[in-house]
Every structure is written in C-alpha cells, then in structure tokens.
Amino acid sequence: MIIKKGWAVWMGGFKDGNGTISTETGALRDAPYGVQARFEDGRGTNPEELIAAAHAACFSMAFSLMLGEAGLAPEEIRSTAAVTLDKVGDGFAITASHLTVVARIPGADPAKFDEIANQAKAGCPVSKLLNAKISMDATLLP
C-alpha cells in the first residue's frame, strides 16, 4: 500500500477567507487557494484544477504503461483534463472530467491507439476515484 499526503489550511470565512495547500513532496508548498480562484479569475489554485492536473497526469502515466505493455514506445503524450463543477441541489459536485490527449507513438495504428487510450481512461486510479462522467478526445500524431 502506498499513502501520499496533501494538506490545506483555511483562514477566515468562506467568501473573505483564504488558504494554502501543500504536498508532502514539496511540489506544492503553501500555494494559495480560495473562493476567488475557484469561482472567479482570482490568484491561486482551487480543488478542481488540482483534480484536473492529477487526472491528466494519472491518465498519461497509465497510457504510457499500457502502450509499453503492448510493445509501443510513446515519444510524447500531452494530456489535458477539464473538470466540470456544477450546482447540484443545495451544493456543488464535480460532474465530469474530459480528457484531451495528443500523442506521438511510432508504429501505433489508430485502432490500437484508441483501444489502449480507452483502457487507460477507464483504468487510471484517478478515473476510478471520480464519481463523474469521464469523456475523452484522443489524437494520434503521425
């Protein structure tokens, strides 16, 4: 079992407060987050963009692993995840994550590319964690 940690500190009320978020590796150290970055164009980060980055990274790693298992060596995989936060009832919920993937994989045919990309989309641990619709557009570059 592997356990990774992240933490957050919040100071103040919901609208007038602000916080910091950190990870045990130090990749994020007291990065600011708050309502303005979440619902407006304010400075800092927010949970949804962090989840999006985690989903894109997780997918890319899973895709690379599965391609390697199929005897294919990717030169480059560029993944973006767009996480949707919707008003649901009295609160909010992450309802979707859309992956956009562009990859250069010598020797890959489009059918095999699509097959493995869909396996990675379903199989990456972050996809399994999200209780949301996960869609994808995948492009194989020549």
pLDDT at 6: 96
pLDDT at 39: 85
Alpha-carbon span 44 to 41, nearest angstrom:
9
pTM for the model: 0.91
pLDDT at 25: 95
pLDDT at 54: 96
The per-residue pLDDT string of the chain (142 residues; one tens digit each, 9 = 90 and over) reads: 999 999 999 999 998 899 999 999 999 999 999 988 888 888 889 999 999 999 999 999 999 999 999 999 999 999 999 999 999 999 999 999 999 999 999 999 999 999 999 999 999 999 999 989 999 999 999 9
Kind and range of the H or E element at 47?
Answer: helix 47-69
Alpha-carbon span 61 to 134, nearest angstrom:
17
Inter-residue contact 97 to 83 (CB < 8 Å): yes
Q: Which domains, from first to last, does the chain contain?
A: 6-39 (no CATH), 47-141 (3.30.300.20)
User: Could you give phi then psi for residue 37, rounded to 5 degrees?
Assistant: -75, -20
Alpha-carbon span 91 to 37, nearest angstrom:
18
Inter-residue contact 101 to 59 (CB < 8 Å): yes
pLDDT at 41: 82
Q: Which residues contact 88 (CB under 8 A, 6 or more apart)?
A: 95
Alpha-carbon span 126 to 56, nearest angstrom:
9
